[in-house]
């Protein structure tokens, strides 16, 4: 049976927006009718689908409001779409504000639309520590019909911090493996001035403090002392100035390429030999999965969901937060042992296929929706 599914996410760059959009596209390909309700067009929604609709939330700044009322505008739009399109399910990404808006919208619409909330991290790992928001997050979770988290680590952390009276199911993130696979992009190596002998490390993030990009730089500084190597830095964000300064201080400007925000990351992963993600908070780490699918082993920190994505000693290494020397040692070991690297690379591709395949994950969400619709 075809379902009518509403999806709300923050449509900007970031793991949650990407996963929500990809999920919508795959559900549409399976014949469901998808209604995105968000403030701008999700950035990965780059293709026409006859059964995907986009409802824009307009946030007006009236002078009576000190702050533009995004949450209220969103709730009104959700209520409107729930009623008009007779949605079966509204799947929201982030407990606050999105789950809370959905609950309000459901009351306004007066239908039995089912609410699925997916926790992606920031709502719990950052906002969960704010006592003034704790009860609101708890409310959003408890009043949702089903709640999922993108890793076991996040589900456990939510239970510890928020203590909701609600089961939280883990449904891992996924990638579209038709997009993320090794491509022949060797011309990029030449364009970026990367020599045959050089190994390529890559880091992709939003350059926020929690990503600890400075640890990536320090680790890389030690790596390139031992072997010829280049570091690709992809993305942009508030830490960029500090990161640039550190690169200069360490005298490795020639070795570090600042690429800024990029599209078509599969081309960049395809010329990379090692992914570094050394965050102090990370509920999943979608970039690890993207790299793995392109056959790139990773080194990550023993933090949040990272150890659920990287299999230590099989598809990469898990090391303690801040232990940059250990990162460099492991990296050099891996990059100078072609047989080991090949083994890790193959295992990474296989792991994506067995644990994080898009059809497995999409089917999990689909069965959650069906379970709820059957209970109506
Ligand atoms: N991303 C880009 N371009 C960039 C930086 C990041 O598309 O320049 C995407 C990554 O490919 C990934 C998401 O899908 O943003 C970040 O995921 P996460 O690391 O926040 O989970």
Closest CA to 278 of 348, 207, 180: 207
Residue 240 Cβ < 6 Å to ligand 1? no
pTM recorded for the entire structure: 0.95
Taking CA atoms only, the protein residue closest to ligand 1 atom 18 is: 15
CATH of 4-174+357-374 given 3.30.365.10, 3.40.30.10, 3.30.70.100, 3.40.50.2000 = 3.40.50.2000
Residue 342 Cβ < 6 Å to ligand 1? no
Closest CA to 305 of 201, 176, 191, 171: 171
Taking CA atoms only, the protein residue closest to ligand 1 atom 3 is: 262
**Residue with the two structure tokens 């006859």:** 50
- Does this chain's domain 4-174+357-374 share its CATH topology with 186-355? yes
What atom in ligand 1 is closest to the CA of residue 235? Answer: 8
Q: pLDDT, tens digit, for every residue of 9-52?
A: 987 767 899 999 999 999 999 999 999 999 888 877 877 899 99
Distance CA 356, CA 31 (A): 22
Residue 309 Cβ < 6 Å to ligand 1? no
Asked whether the beta carbons of 305 and 153 are under 8 A apart, the reply is yes
Neighbours of 84 (CB within 10 A): 11
What are the residue ranges spanned by the domains of the chain?
Answer: 4-174+357-374, 186-355
Centre of ligand 1 from the C-alpha of residue 45, in Å: 15
Q: In this structure, what is the dihedral angle of CA atoms 197, 252, 293, 336, given to the nearest 10 degrees?
A: 40
DSSP string, 279-300: -S--S--HHHHHHHHTT--EEE
Asked whether the beta carbons of 30 and 362 are under 8 A apart, the reply is yes
Angle between helix 100-109 and helix 131-142 axes, rounded to 10 deg: 50
Residue to substitute in 153, 258, 265 for testing ligand 1 pocket (most ligand atoms within 8 angstroms of CB): 265
pLDDT of residue 268: 98
Q: Is 13 exposed, middle or buried (0-12, 13-18, 19+ CB in 10 A)?
A: middle
Q: pLDDT, tens digit, for every residue of 269-278?
A: 999 999 999 9
What is the pLDDT averaged over residues 299-313?
A: 98
pLDDT(227) > 70: yes
pLDDT(61) > 80: no
Beta carbons within 8 Å of 204's beta carbon, 6+ residues apart: 234, 235, 265, 268, 275, 287, 290, 291
What is the pLDDT averaged over residues 178-192?
A: 94
Average pLDDT, the chain: 95
CATH number of 186-355: 3.40.50.2000
Q: In this structure, what is the dihedral angle of CA atoms 348, 351, 352, 358, given to the nearest 10 degrees?
A: 180
């Amino acid at each position: 049976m075809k379902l009518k599914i509403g999806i709300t996410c923050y449509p900007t760059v970031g793991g949650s927006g990407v996963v929500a959009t990809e999920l919508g596209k795959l559900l549409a390909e399976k014949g469901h009718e998808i209604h995105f309700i968000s403030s701008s067009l999700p950035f990965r929604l780059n293709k026409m689908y006859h059964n995907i609709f986009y409802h824009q939330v307009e946030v007006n700044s009236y002078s009576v409001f000190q702050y533009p009322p995004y949450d209220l505008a969103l709730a009104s739009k959700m209520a409107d779409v729930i009623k008009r399109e007779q949605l079966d399910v509204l799947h929201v990404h982030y407990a606050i504000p999105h789950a809370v808006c959905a609950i309000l919208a459901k009351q306004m619409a007066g239908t039995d639309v089912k609410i699925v909330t997916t926790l992606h991290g920031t709502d719990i790992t950052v906002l969960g520590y704010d006592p003034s928001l704790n009860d609101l997050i708890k409310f959003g979770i408890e009043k949702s019909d089903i709640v999922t988290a993108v890793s076991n680590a996040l589900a456990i952390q939510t239970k510890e911090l928020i203590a909701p009276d609600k089961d939280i199911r883990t449904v891992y993130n996924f990638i579209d493996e038709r997009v993320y696979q090794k491509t022949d992009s060797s011309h990029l190596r030449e364009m970026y001035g990367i020599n045959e002998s050089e190994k390529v490390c890559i880091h992709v993030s939003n350059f926020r403090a929690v990503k600890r990009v400075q640890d990536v730089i320090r680790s890389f500084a030690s790596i390139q002392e031992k072997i010829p190597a280049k570091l690709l830095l992809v993305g942009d964000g508030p830490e960029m100035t500090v990161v640039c300064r550190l690169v200069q201080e360490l005298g490795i400007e020639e070795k570090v390429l600042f690429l800024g925000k990029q599209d078509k990351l599969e081309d960049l992963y395809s010329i990379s030999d090692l992914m570094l993600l050394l965050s102090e908070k990370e509920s999943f780490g979608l970039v690890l999965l993207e790299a793995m699918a392109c056959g790139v082993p990773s080194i990550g920190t023993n933090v949040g969901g990272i150890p659920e994505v990287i299999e230590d000693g099989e598809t990469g290494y898990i090391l303690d937060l801040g232990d940059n020397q250990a990162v460099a040692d492991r990296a050099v070991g891996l990059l100078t042992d072609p047989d080991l690297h090949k083994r890790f690379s193959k295992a990474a591709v296989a792991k994506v296929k067995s644990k994080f395949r898009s059809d497995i994950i999409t089917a999990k969400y689909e069965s959650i929706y069906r379970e709820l619709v059957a209970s109506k």
